[in-house]
């Protein structure tokens, strides 16, 4: 099938090619009526027209702007990713526009009238590549962070998530815990699926272990409610440790223990994931897996720059570390 051109859009909208260029280049204000601009955009969308960025770059030069798409701004992890990406971008004369997807990890909407006309590339953290179709189309290079390495992006930067889970589980097993509760994120993304699968595999290799799973949205109150329910319905043979997918969930687990009259870590051990500021704000401080979020952002920007230059970029998994603090201890005697 022949790719539609700006001439096709002009004919469909009943305007000149120059008008199409003005509208899709976001230079129509004061030169073209809003009604005409809307007609051009509608025609482009109906025909599936996408500007030829290679030709546009030859005419206008690179915008030297990257879009960083994240599921939310409420999570400190993504703010740190942005900090790392922006630092590398600044060193190379690039800017980074931070865009929290309005629908979280679901399909992200195009934040501009035409993102393809305003950007050189897209970096996305902890999302699926398919969620970025409205933004990147077939034209913009896409670098994925903390995401499925088989999703077809131009480059990937991933953390050693599985190793982090094994470190946390090994720590609890070494303390003597054999009955664990997995407080899993209610968000179905690659990174959380890896955590669940790795935890189950790790415990399966240790005789006498049991694993129960409960899910909760990424909020303290939701986590508290989920853990309260899980612990009160377990009877006298309740789990002795809670492995949480995130520090926010871990804070909720600690709150649930307190409400049930349990002491952390004497009666219940709790581990988190991320090592957010929250991990040292709670008491006792959280044992958690530290993720180098700023390094993720830096490597993501380096990867995009390499893709734009036509250079291969293979980034090995970034190492993570278990930070042992006061929220874990041997299980109480039966």
pLDDT score for 283: 93
pLDDT score for 264: 97
pLDDT score for 32: 83
- Indicate if the pLDDT at residue 221 is higher than 90: yes
- Indicate if the pLDDT at residue 136 is higher than 90: no
Angle, CA of 200, 203 and 205, to the nearest 5°: 110
- Average pLDDT on 309-319 reads 85
Q: H or E stretch including 305?
A: helix 293-308
- With a CB cutoff of 8 Å and minimum separation 6, the contacts of 227 are 181, 183, 214, 216, 242, 252, 253, 256, 257
CA 67 remoteness from chain centre: 14
- Indicate if the pLDDT at residue 275 is higher than 60: yes
- Indicate if the pLDDT at residue 13 is higher than 80: yes
Among 44-53, 62-71, 256-265, 283-292, which stretch is predicted with the lowest mean pLDDT? 44-53
* 8 Å CB contact between 168 and 243: yes
pLDDT score for 205: 86
Cα–Cα distance list, 198 to 167, 226, 259, 289 (Å): 11, 22, 30, 14
Would you place residue 161 in the very low, low, confident or very high pLDDT band (cuts 50, 70, 90)? Answer: very high
- Indicate if the pLDDT at residue 172 is higher than 70: yes
pLDDT score for 58: 39
Burial of residue 284 (CB within 10 Å: 0-12, 13-18, 19+) is middle
Would you place residue 129 in the very low, low, confident or very high pLDDT band (cuts 50, 70, 90)? Answer: low
171: left (phi over 0), alpha (psi -120 to 50) or beta: alpha
Q: Which tokens belong to 108?
A: 């992200």
H helices present in 17-70, as ranges: 17-24, 34-47, 53-60
Among 108-117, 215-224, 303-312, which stretch is predicted with the lowest mean pLDDT? 108-117
Would you place residue 55 in the very low, low, confident or very high pLDDT band (cuts 50, 70, 90)? Answer: very low
Query: Strand ranges (DSSP E) for the chain?
Result: 65-70, 95-100, 121-125, 142-145, 155-157, 179-185, 210-216, 241-244, 269-274, 287-290, 321-323
pLDDT score for 57: 45
What is the value of pTM for the model shown? 0.77
Burial of residue 181 (CB within 10 Å: 0-12, 13-18, 19+) is buried
Among 52-56, 76-80, 180-184, which stretch is predicted with the lowest mean pLDDT? 52-56
pLDDT score for 236: 77
pLDDT score for 54: 43
- Average pLDDT on 254-279 reads 96
- Indicate if the pLDDT at residue 111 is higher than 90: no
- Average pLDDT on 211-227 reads 96
- Indicate if the pLDDT at residue 59 is higher than 50: no
- Average pLDDT on 61-69 reads 80
- With a CB cutoff of 8 Å and minimum separation 6, the contacts of 209 are 173, 178, 179, 180, 203
Q: What is the total residue count of the chain? A: 334
Percent of the chain with pLDDT over 90: 54
pLDDT score for 113: 53
Among 25-39, 63-77, 104-118, 245-259, which stretch is predicted with the lowest mean pLDDT? 104-118
CA distance 240 to 319: 28
Q: Which tokens belong to 10?
A: 């002009």
- Average pLDDT on 252-275 reads 97
* pLDDT top residue among 248 and 54: 248
- Average pLDDT on 300-310 reads 91
CA 218 remoteness from chain centre: 13
CA distance 217 to 104: 12
Among 14-18, 154-158, 184-188, 214-218, which stretch is predicted with the lowest mean pLDDT? 14-18
Q: Average pLDDT over the chain, rounded to whole?
A: 87
pLDDT score for 245: 97
């Amino acid at each position: 099938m022949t790719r539609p051109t700006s001439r096709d859009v002009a004919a469909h909208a009943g305007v000149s090619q120059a008008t199409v260029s003005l509208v899709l280049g976001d230079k129509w204000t004061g030169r073209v009526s809003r009604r005409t601009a809307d007609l051009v955009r509608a025609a482009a969308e109906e025909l599936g027209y996408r500007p030829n960025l290679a030709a546009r770059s030859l005419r206008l030069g690179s915008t030297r702007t990257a879009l960083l798409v994240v599921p939310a701004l409420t999570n400190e992890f993504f703010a740190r990713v942005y900090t790392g990406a922006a630092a590398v971008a600044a060193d190379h004369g690039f800017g980074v526009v931070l865009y929290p997807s309005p629908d979280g990890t679901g399909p992200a909407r195009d934040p501009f009238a035409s993102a393809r006309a305003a950007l050189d590339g897209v970096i996305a953290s902890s999302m699926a590549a398919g969620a970025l179709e409205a933004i990147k189309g077939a034209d913009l290079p896409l670098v994925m962070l903390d995401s499925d390495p088989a999703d077809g992006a131009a480059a990937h930067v991933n953390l050693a998530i599985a190793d982090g889970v094994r470190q946390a589980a090994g720590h609890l097993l070494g303390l003597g815990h054999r009955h664990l509760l997995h407080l899993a994120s209610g968000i179905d993304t690659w990174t959380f699926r890896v955590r669940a699968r790795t935890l189950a595999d790790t415990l399966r290799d240790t005789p006498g272990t049991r694993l129960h799973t409960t899910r909760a949205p990424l909020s303290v109150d939701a986590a508290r409610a989920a853990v309260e329910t899980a612990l009160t319905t377990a009877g006298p043979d309740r789990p002795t440790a809670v492995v949480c997918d995130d520090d926010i969930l871990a804070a909720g687990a600690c709150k649930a223990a307190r409400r049930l009259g349990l002491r952390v870590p004497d009666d219940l051990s709790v581990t988190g994931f991320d090592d957010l500021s929250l991990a040292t704000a709670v008491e006792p401080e959280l044992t958690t897996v530290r993720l180098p979020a700023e390094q993720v952002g830096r490597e993501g920007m380096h990867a995009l720059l390499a893709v734009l230059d036509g250079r291969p970029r293979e980034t090995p998994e970034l190492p993570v570390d278990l930070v042992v603090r006061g929220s874990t201890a041997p299980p109480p005697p039966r």
